[in-house]
Structure 1
Amino acid sequence: MTKLELHWQILIAIVMAGMVGGTINYLNAHGVEDPGVFGISAIAVLDYIGTIFLNALKMIIVPLIFSSITIGVAGIGSGGNLGSLGGKTLLFYMATTIAAILVGLLLVNLIGPGYLDGQPVGDMLGLDAGGSQIALAAESRGPGDVAQIFKDMVPPNVVQAAADGQMLGIIFFALLFGYFMTQMDNALSEPMYQFWDGVFNIMMLMTEWIMKFAPIGVFGLVGKVVAEAGFSGVGPLAIFALTVIAALAVHALVVLPLFLRYLGKVSPYKMFPAMAPAMLTAFSTASSSATLPVTMNCVEDNAGVSNKISSFVLPLGATVNMNGTALYECAAAMFLAQAYGLDLTIAVQFSIVIIALLTSVGVAGVPSASLVAIAIILGAVGLPLEAVGVLLVFDRILDMMRTSLNIFGDSCCAVIVARMSGEETKLALDTKS
């Protein structure tokens, strides 16, 4: 018997959660006592299931982010890769990721999916605003807190920072750790690289294992939201999903083609059909890592990039270049902040941009792994992790779309770096015309 794909399992879980949660909400609205399970409130059971899933995600945050960034930086710095090729690649990855984040930030601010008729939609989504505490945590930030962001990147105690979930400090320490690994003799650096590479692969397996329970976690999280708020939150969530789709489209159809046209001197119109197989694979699997062989094949065969370029740029991009993921992280955090009715000061928005940029580097290339990064951002701006639950309704389809953008961003970098390195490629513009 063929096993049902994870995205279908999650979709079924969402439908079941809607049915169960809707029934509980209907009964409560008509004065019928919560049916419960073995004497325990049904809403409490759903909350219990969802909390375990969220705790599992929190459990892997520190080792996953640290090991991913460490081996990524160490891998870039080894073998002379931080020369011309590495410099061009990293510069392009950073530029496109920042551009993607800013596109997401702009559209969320313009559309305001977290508001309905000028009012926050937190109550419609069943979000417990927690009164003044959450508002104070975020709204008390001022322009001076921009400097505090950089101060937090250098923790006095990295172990305490890990325990407290201060991920900026962990990320900065991992960047330094990975870089200075490359400064040691090979006899010392190689065992360290193998160790952290092993840790990273273990964490990838753990992430994939935890995500197997995503349908159960989604059932609990979505079921609780529907049981408490009914279906009133579907509208705001649909507007948020459309906002994200619009932002992804702008980045894919406007921003990246501009990079291709003016930096790579290639035709953007030829790029899309050349990468169509890889983008469709990414859409169906929602995994950058699983799509990597197809991406390399398309870039080399359809775009005409040499293996020397693609074998360095694309595996690196599958780890550190997540245009769609970074855009979504920023948009999701902004949406939830709006839903809570928070005053989104420049300091808060700047911190979201910085953390989205840094955490997108350490996101595992497996389905829904960006939930880990979103949890980091929420904690950094003073929002409760439980708010992630409302995002799961449309997360799968958005995950498939942002993964396709991740792959397209990687391939654009490979083509541009190849062109800047003197390669002709099959997509070069006809300069004679």
Structure 2
Amino acid sequence: MTTNPIRWKLHWQILLSLVLTLLFGALILPHTSEGFSAGAINFCQFIGKLFMNALKMVIVPLIVASIISGVMHLGAEKGVGRMGFKTFLYYTFSGAAAVIIGLIVVNIIQPGNVDADTAAAMLGSGAETSVSQGLMSKVEGRSSSDLFDIFLRMFPSNIIDAATNNGQLLGVITFSIMFGAFIGKLKPEQRETQQRFWESAQEVMLQLTDFIIRFAPIGVFGLVVPVIFETNLGDLFGTLAWFFITVLLALTLHFFINLGLVLKLVAKVNPVTHYKEMAPVLLTAFSTASSSATLPLTIETVEERAGVSKKTCSFTLPLGATVNMDGTALYECIVVLFIAQLYASTGQVALSIGDQLLVVFLALTTSIGVAGIPAASLVAIAVILPAVGLPVEAIGVVWLTDRILDMCRTSVNVFSDTVGAVTIAATEGETPYGNIEP
């Protein structure tokens, strides 16, 4: 008789990998011979680069298939055209508000503004050389007037060339959004053919990406060991603590202020009541770190506790679990700007206003495009970093805090979905919570 071995969930595997990383990089490796430590670091860098290359490989097809699959349904659902427009409007503005909060908080706190030695050690020995030319060419001498260049990059003459050169996916994202929107305007038989194709293509890419993400514990080990080995742990944890605080503060502001105001001013319901009734959903989202895994409970809770109709819930909540990622978009923005601040601390040119606005736009759009996969922020951040001249490998500096922050931002994602359902219901003439005034 055979027994199935116990299989740890991915987040526990990653946490174990981080513990082993700390032990190996801080306690074991420094006490070995110089030849052994150099060989171990080179091998870890190889493993880390292999993992990041695998992620980069799936970025373009995943972005295209996911965005087209998500957008095409908005135009296809003729019976809920008005509701679809309101839902899209809510997701756009709530996501934009979240990213702007992140942009403001990270610029005020500036967690990456540290001494040059600490920044260089956290980023790796190549911090002063690997990114210098690319970042300097992108941001030196730029000003807010270069915002017009962003719109030009949204419509490149060749989207394939734009995607393959320096990872400029802005044109690919714009094309995918427009392509998905116009699929919804096709004749029914043509639309169904396109929908089947893109939904199956998305499923293939999600499964492929999920397969690559399974190797995240090994990739994390390879990415983080060199950082631990070359960094003073006191400085490392101090800097990461400020990064952690920055993300939590921004998530808290969006959770209570932005979404609370939407509940009070638009949905006309008591925000305190909604926070209380959605507690089971929030706890489940926090513990699973998955919007999709929480979805059945989200639908049941919003229907039974908030009194939202089945029609509204069945349309807004599944769509929200796929495309409405406020917390993820906010996190992506802060991570990219935190890494940019670290590079600025090593003597590189800081990002201009135009580049920061590009980060805002890409954080919002990529959070939609890769929302359906585990560790979605990894792929999204890998899209954004090259767009502003930063190396993808720099993601490794935030791995130590990613799991806990993933749980927090997923809770914000799911709560925003519930706020959207209640708000759309109220604008459609329903009376969630009996429209109890605060």
| 1:207 positional shift | 2.0
1:123 matched to 2:116? The reply is no
CA shift in 2, pair 1:347/1:82, >3 Å: farther
Q: TM-score, normalised on structure 2?
A: 0.93
| 1:359 positional shift | 1.1
Of 169, 174, 177, which aligns to 2:179? 177
1:307 matched to 2:318? The reply is no
The share of aligned pairs that are identical, in percent, is 46
CA shift in 2, pair 1:150/1:47, >3 Å: same
Of 414-423 and 287-296, the range deviating more from structure 2: 287-296
1:14 matched to 2:11? The reply is no
Task: Tell me how far apart the structure 1 counterparts of residues 119 and 79 of structure 2 sit (CA, whole Å).
Answer: 48
Of 262, 285, 290, which aligns to 2:288? 285
Task: Tell me how far apart the structure 2 counterparts of residues 407 and 269 of structure 1 sit (CA, whole Å).
Answer: 17
Counterpart of 2:330?
A: 327
Deviations 1:74-126 (A, max 9, x none): 11110315622111111111111111001111111111100136x58422414
| 1:230 positional shift | 4.1
Contact 1:283 1:400 in 2 (8 A): yes
Instruction: Specify the SS of the correspondent of 2:432.
Output: coil
Contact 1:337 1:344 in 2 (8 A): yes
Counterpart of 1:151?
A: 152
Task: Tell me how far apart the structure 2 counterparts of residues 137 and 254 of structure 1 sit (CA, whole Å).
Answer: 39
Of 107, 113, 117, which aligns to 2:111? 113
Q: TM-score, normalised on structure 1?
A: 0.94
| 1:344 positional shift | 2.8
Counterpart of 1:337?
A: 340
CA shift in 2, pair 1:326/1:427, >3 Å: farther
Contact 1:271 1:427 in 2 (8 A): no
Of 310, 335, 346, which aligns to 2:353? 346
1:139 matched to 2:135? The reply is no
Q: Structure 2: which 5+ residue stretches go unaligned?
A: none
Counterpart of 2:204?
A: 202
Task: Tell me how far apart the structure 2 counterparts of residues 306 and 374 of structure 1 sit (CA, whole Å).
Answer: 36
| 1:151 positional shift | 0.4
Deviations 1:346-376 (A, max 9, x none): 1111111111111111123333111111111
Counterpart of 1:298?
A: 301
How many residue pairs get aligned? The number is 424
Instruction: Specify the SS of the correspondent of 2:122.
Output: coil
Instruction: Specify the SS of the correspondent of 1:108.
Output: helix
Contact 2:143 2:352 in 1 (8 A): yes
Counterpart of 2:394?
A: 387
Of 396, 412, 419, which aligns to 1:412? 419
Deviations 1:52-77 (A, max 9, x none): 11111111111111111111111111
Contact 1:112 1:335 in 2 (8 A): yes
Deviations 1:296-352 (A, max 9, x none): 111111111101101111111112110000000100011000000142321111111
Counterpart of 1:238?
A: 241
CA shift in 2, pair 1:59/1:85, >3 Å: same
Q: Structure 1: which 5+ residue stretches go unaligned?
A: none
Contact 1:337 1:383 in 2 (8 A): yes
2:416 counterpart letter in structure 1? G
| 1:235 positional shift | 1.5
Task: Tell me how far apart the structure 2 counterparts of residues 422 and 184 of structure 1 sit (CA, whole Å).
Answer: 31
| 1:2 positional shift | 2.9
1:46 matched to 2:44? The reply is yes
Backbone CA RMSD of aligned residues:
1.8
Of 12-21 and 119-128, the range deviating more from structure 2: 119-128
CA shift in 2, pair 1:135/1:69, >3 Å: closer
